[in-house]
Chain A
């Protein structure tokens, strides 16, 4: 992954796509979000969603998964080239998460991330704080998911 100094506002990256099967939707919902429209096709059809709909937390968790898998692929490529690899810190949170359209069984969602701001941390000057807009788009080209995530990114010149 990149260091703080190498990141530029406006940089965008596609991180991958995921198909939400009925089985996966019901499995996640049964564990974490057992509302009827996430568990049964019939209840989903009779809801505002119009079909079996994935939990919004399932969509967010899959976005996280694809972001991390993509980042780890970049890190291993960089390490293979003998480059120093930035290890990102934890995230203090996110804001403005929007579930804009339902994610229904069989939908394939493509996720992307775009840097919207960067600054040096006041309390931890070896770290930068970046904000990125993460989005999910369905197979019809409709935006279904969006949030603004915050993360700690190491500065290149900080002592390891």
Chain B
């Protein structure tokens, strides 16, 4: 399998990934470990919350987006890690039974000044449910190795 390098990420639509199915049990398991708020754990309390029903943790949704990015391309990319996340916007609740898809665009790709053998690719990833409603937008850079230069022969 070929490994994707910095040069494989020109600005524009990179691809769409998923679907990733999310069960009620998945939502409860993540929330009880990392985000034990009633709106993520208890149907009765969730029904009275601003989100009107049981919803998954925003951090669970981000972790699922990371998994879709990994399965989609990152595990076959010369990824060296990420310095952070510019912005995450939680737009609509993650619900039990959702089938998530992830639309991924490259919004910027530039060679690193401090490590010129690498580049920084900034992605905008949008998670949607089966109805096409955007649940979360994430803007995040990753550090990607550049393709080894081909020796010039003459």
**Which A residues form the contact surface with B (CB < 8 A)?**
31-37, 47-49, 53, 55-57, 60-62, 64-65, 68-69, 72, 89-99, 147, 152
Contact (A68, B89) CB under 8 Å given A34-B70, A57-B66: no
**Which B residues form the contact surface with A (CB < 8 A)?**
33-37, 39, 49-51, 55, 57-59, 62-64, 66-67, 70, 74-75, 79-90, 93, 143
| A61 with B35: CB separation less than 8 A | yes
Distance (whole angstroms) from the CB of A3 to the closest CB of chain B? 16
Residue numbers in A under 8 Å from B143 (CB-CB): 48
Residue in A62, A72, A96 whose CB lies within 8 Å of B36: A72
Separation of A90 and B74 alpha carbons in the complex (Å)? 30
Secondary structure call for the B interface: mixed
Residue numbers in B under 8 Å from A92 (CB-CB): 89-90
Contact (A60, B90) CB under 8 Å given A65-B34, A98-B83: no
Residue numbers in A under 8 Å from B55 (CB-CB): 90
Q: Contacts A49-B81, A55-B66, A96-B84 given; 20 further ones with Cβ under 8 A?
A: A34-B67, A35-B74, A57-B62, A60-B62, A61-B59, A61-B63, A64-B59, A89-B50, A90-B50, A90-B58, A90-B90, A91-B58, A92-B89, A93-B88, A95-B86, A95-B87, A96-B87, A97-B85, A97-B86, A147-B85
Contact (A33, B35) CB under 8 Å given A61-B59, A93-B87: no
Give the one of B59, B75, B79 with max A CB within 10 A.
Answer: B59
Separation of A62 and B39 alpha carbons in the complex (Å)? 18
Residue in B51, B81, B85 whose CB lies within 8 Å of A47: B81
Residue numbers in B under 8 Å from A94 (CB-CB): 85, 87-88
Considering the complex, give the chain A residue whose CB is closest to the CB of B74. Answer: A35
Secondary structure call for the A interface: mixed
Distance (whole angstroms) from the CB of B55 to the closest CB of chain A? 8
| A37 with B88: CB separation less than 8 A | no
Separation of A21 and B28 alpha carbons in the complex (Å)? 23
Distance (whole angstroms) from the CB of A115 to the closest CB of chain B? 19
| A47 with B57: CB separation less than 8 A | no
Separation of A92 and B36 alpha carbons in the complex (Å)? 18
| A60 with B59: CB separation less than 8 A | yes
Contact (A32, B66) CB under 8 Å given A37-B81, A94-B88: yes
Residue in A35, A49, A65, A90 whose CB lies within 8 Å of B33: A65
Can you pick out 25 interface pairs between chain A and chain B where the beta carbons lie within 8 Å of each other? A32-B66, A33-B66, A34-B70, A34-B75, A35-B70, A47-B80, A48-B143, A57-B63, A57-B66, A60-B59, A61-B35, A64-B57, A65-B36, A68-B35, A68-B37, A89-B49, A90-B50, A91-B58, A92-B90, A93-B58, A94-B85, A98-B83, A98-B84, A99-B84, A147-B85
